[in-house]
């Protein structure tokens, strides 16, 4: 069992899972109209004929994309346009036009994710610094792309971006902790787990700031509707057809909607702390979420899971301080899940459903989220040593 090395997966202590360079701000010549259309989405959603306007765009030029940052931006733009196309009208579209569907699919293949908005495009690739030399945290970051815009949508996503940034120290602590286990060094492991605990606590403190500028009513009625997917959505029983995508053979696709469960942070924490989830529908859902993550992040999680067991080492070392710090790490992961459950209750479950495309009993990922989140929390709490 080899200790994981974050550098092997393009991850750094400074940026965590975020790109190591600030995301591209625009697309190169050849796709300017798509770029401008994306930036104008908050205005265009307030106008009429959104879907018709999409079909009038010139063909998307994938060959004009220069480098990885631009490919990621193309996925972001196409995903926002695609979700807007889907949810801009009173009834959802059962077919996406070839003009949009084909490039979305092809760029999705380049980034290793399905043609639907996923967490990576929604949050991790969707920011810019206000002061280019300042920190990547709330107060110095702004979104590059919104649906309707406004404080609540902006804040909801910015909170996630700062958490991703703060996760960098925790991901490095995972590397250090597994190396300490491999070298049989309990003293060093105590330091690594202390660093992990501090990073988890810092991320949790950011999550607790969500209500500061994101109101539950606004979130439910103005932010959430645009991030729904096509799976288990009562308004799309047969999924969505991607016109012009030969591989789908004209069959409706049922992709999951954007959800925080597509972030690779908590799965990595589960991996290093040995937090197991019962083999049931919920576990299957968590594994399915990996299809919507960047492939390198999935490989990292798998490497953490296959690496030296920190849990077993702590159990056998039997040092009270080591067990205490380890358990504090597990408890903060449980706190994360408890806070997520609390927000799901106030921001979603307690709201009144107004349209079939925005159900209050089903998550954006298409799950009975209150049941799942409660089970996540309870399973985690029971796994201290």
Name the least confident of 275-279, 293-297, 356-360.
356-360
Encode pLDDT of 69-115 as tens digits: 999 999 999 999 999 999 999 899 999 999 999 999 999 999 999 99
Residues 6+ apart with CB under 8 A from 343: 210
Delimit the domains of the chain by residue range: 6-381
* Per-residue model confidence (pLDDT) at position 357: 58
Alpha carbon distance 85, 2 (integer Å): 46
Instruction: Please give the mean pLDDT across all residues of the chain.
Output: 93
CATH code given to domain 6-381: 1.20.58.480
The secondary structure of 275-322 as a DSSP string is ----SSHHHHHHHHGGGGS-HHHHHHHHHHHHS--HHHHHHHH--HHH
Percent of the chain whose pLDDT exceeds 70:
94
Alpha carbon distance 144, 332 (integer Å): 31
Name the least confident of 18-27, 105-114, 232-241.
232-241
Average pLDDT over residues 300-329: 96
Per DSSP, what are the bridge partners of residue 16?
12
CA of 79: how far to CAs of 63, 152, 308, in Å? 18, 20, 38
- Report the helix count and the strand count for the chain, using DSSP H and E: 15, 4
Encode pLDDT of 211-226 as tens digits: 999 999 999 999 999 9
Residue 42's Cβ-side half-sphere holds a number of Cα atoms within 13 Å equal to 12
Residue in 102, 113, 357 with CA at minimum distance from that of residue 241: 102
3-class DSSP state of 22: coil
CA 261 distance to own-chain centroid: 6
Alpha carbon distance 374, 37 (integer Å): 40
The secondary structure of 141-177 as a DSSP string is EE-S--SS-SHHHHHHHHHHHHHHHHHHHHHHHHHHH
Residue in 165, 169, 168 with CA at minimum distance from that of residue 139: 165
């Amino acid at each position: 069992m080899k200790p994981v090395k974050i550098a092997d997966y393009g991850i750094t202590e400074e940026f965590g899972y975020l790109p190591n360079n600030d995301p591209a701000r625009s697309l190169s010549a050849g796709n300017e109209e798509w770029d401008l259309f994306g930036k104008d989405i908050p205005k265009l959603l307030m106008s009429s004929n959104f879907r018709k306007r999409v079909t009038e765009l010139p063909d998307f030029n994938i060959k004009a994309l220069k480098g990885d940052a631009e490919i990621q931006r193309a996925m972001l733009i196409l995903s926002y346009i695609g979700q807007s196309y889907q949810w801009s009208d009173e009834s959802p579209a059962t077919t996406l036009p070839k003009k949009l569907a084909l490039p979305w699919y092809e760029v999705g293949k380049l980034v290793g994710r399905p043609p639907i908005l996923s967490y990576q495009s929604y949050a991790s690739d969707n920011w810019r610094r206000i002061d280019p030399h300042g920190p990547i945290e709330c107060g110095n970051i702004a979104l590059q792309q919104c649906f309707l815009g406004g404080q609540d949508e902006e804040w909801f996503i910015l909170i996630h971006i700062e958490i991703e940034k703060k996760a960098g120290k925790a991901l490095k602590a995972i590397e250090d902790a597994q190396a300490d286990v491999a070298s049989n060094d309990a003293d060093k492991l105590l330091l690594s787990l202390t660093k992990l605990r501090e990073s988890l606590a810092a991320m949790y403190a950011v999550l607790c700031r969500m209500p500061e500028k994101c109101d539950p009513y606004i979130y439910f009625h103005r932010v959430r509707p645009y991030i729904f997917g096509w799976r288990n959505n009562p308004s799309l029983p047969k999924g969505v057809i991607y016109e012009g995508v030969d591989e789908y053979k004209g069959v409706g696709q049922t992709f999951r909607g954007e959800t925080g469960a597509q972030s690779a942070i908590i799965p990595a924490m589960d991996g290093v702390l040995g937090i197991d989830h019962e083999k049931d529908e919920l576990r299957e859902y968590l594994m399915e979420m990996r299809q919507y993550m960047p492939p390198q992040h999935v490989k990292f999680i798998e490497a953490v899971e296959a690496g030296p067991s920190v849990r077993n080492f702590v159990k056998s070392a039997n040092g009270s301080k080591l067990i205490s710090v380890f358990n504090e790490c597990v408890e903060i992961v449980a706190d994360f899940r408890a806070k997520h459950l609390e927000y799901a209750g106030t921001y979603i479950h307690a709201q009144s459903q107004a349209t079939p495309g925005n159900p209050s009993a089903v998550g954006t990922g298409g799950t009975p989220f209150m049941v799942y989140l409660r089970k996540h929390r309870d399973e985690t709490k029971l796994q201290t040593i």
